[in-house]
Structure 1
């Protein structure tokens, strides 16, 4: 069975190029595996049939000859178990890769998303000093990440699925400028997203949105 990945047929412009199926496309491109995209519109996402695959009506969802899955982090770890291009072959290296995938999703992304949400709603009456505390917490996490990456090309010295997650998290901060205070992180993000597999994945996602632009 050819690998199948569910992706939205179209999303509003602000989300284009950032929908999470991009992470799975990228990993599959790095591994060199063929796959099919199953396009999902918003009505299909609400259907009982699709909710049987992805209970929350989101993307990505994934299936192959052995499993049906959802959640990008879980899917990436599944793929990493099967491809040396996505993780080291030794048990310790795979464990470290898993650690960094979880760190990207749990220790970095919640803080970037909170900041982005706040930055996108400048007229909202946030509680007193909320912005300062939010920015301070994010800077602390990014500072720790920057210190780890100092002198390294990738999180564990070679490219893994953890770099897919971490660099896509950082990429969402580009428009908000905070990550630019950390040149190490900017260099790292650019190094990851400059990979040909990422560029192919991004163009494939954007091409779908262009083809399905509402009239």
Structure 2
């Protein structure tokens, strides 16, 4: 069967281009693997049928006829283990790709994710006045460490783009609008380099297409 990846039929404008099925779409585009988007709405998220595929009602979920799974990082790693376009296929190379995928999800994203949470979902609340500077300081600390590792390399492991870069770039995009990434020119250029890839552009176009088609009437 053709691979199916679940994705939302529509989301509010601030989330468009940032829903996590983008990560899986991008990986599939890099690997040149065809797929179909299984579009879901709010009602579908709570259905027993969809919860049997994705227990938390989120996206993305993945199925290919032999494998069913969920969580964007797990799916991207599954694809990386099958495609030289996403990772070296030797044991050491695949281990390094896995390391960077998990570093993006565990060492960088939890810190970064706090800022959109404050700025988008709790804007104006009194507690954010004290908390936001603490979050910004923690993000700067993480970005400083990451910039030191990247140095003047084009990608995290040198000349070769891997699924680790794919995941890291999607995480770092969340602080572009805040201006924090611009404080680190090498990381700013790194993200720009990653998202300039044709596979990313195809994945982004594919995610945005149904948002336009199913946009609520004004």
Q: TM-score range by the shorter chain?
A: over 0.9
List per-residue Cα deviations over 1:57-107 (Å, max 9, x = no partner).
000000012210000000000000100000012111111111111110111
Aligned length: 215
**Offset of 1:190 from its aligned partner?**
0.2
Match of residue 138 from structure 2: 137
Q: Is the Cα contact below 8 Å between 1:167 and 1:193 reproduced in 2?
A: yes
SS of residue paired to 1:53: coil
Match of residue 82 from structure 1: 82
Match of residue 160 from structure 1: 162
Alpha-carbon separation, structure 1, partners of 2:202 and 2:113: 26
SS of residue paired to 1:154: coil
Match of residue 100 from structure 1: 100
RMSD: 1.2
Alpha-carbon separation, structure 1, partners of 2:184 and 2:31: 30
List per-residue Cα deviations over 1:16-56 (Å, max 9, x = no partner).
11100001111101000111111001101110000000000
Q: Is the Cα contact below 8 Å between 1:119 and 1:176 reproduced in 2?
A: no
Out of 146, 153, 178, the position equivalent to 2:180 is 178
Runs of 4+ with deviation above 4 angstroms: none
Match of residue 187 from structure 1: 189
Q: Which runs of 5+ in 1 are unaligned?
A: none
Match of residue 56 from structure 2: 56
Q: TM-score, normalised by structure 1?
A: 0.97
Q: Which runs of 5+ in 2 are unaligned?
A: none
**Offset of 1:126 from its aligned partner?**
1.7
**Offset of 1:119 from its aligned partner?**
2.9
Alpha-carbon separation, structure 2, partners of 1:172 and 1:62: 24
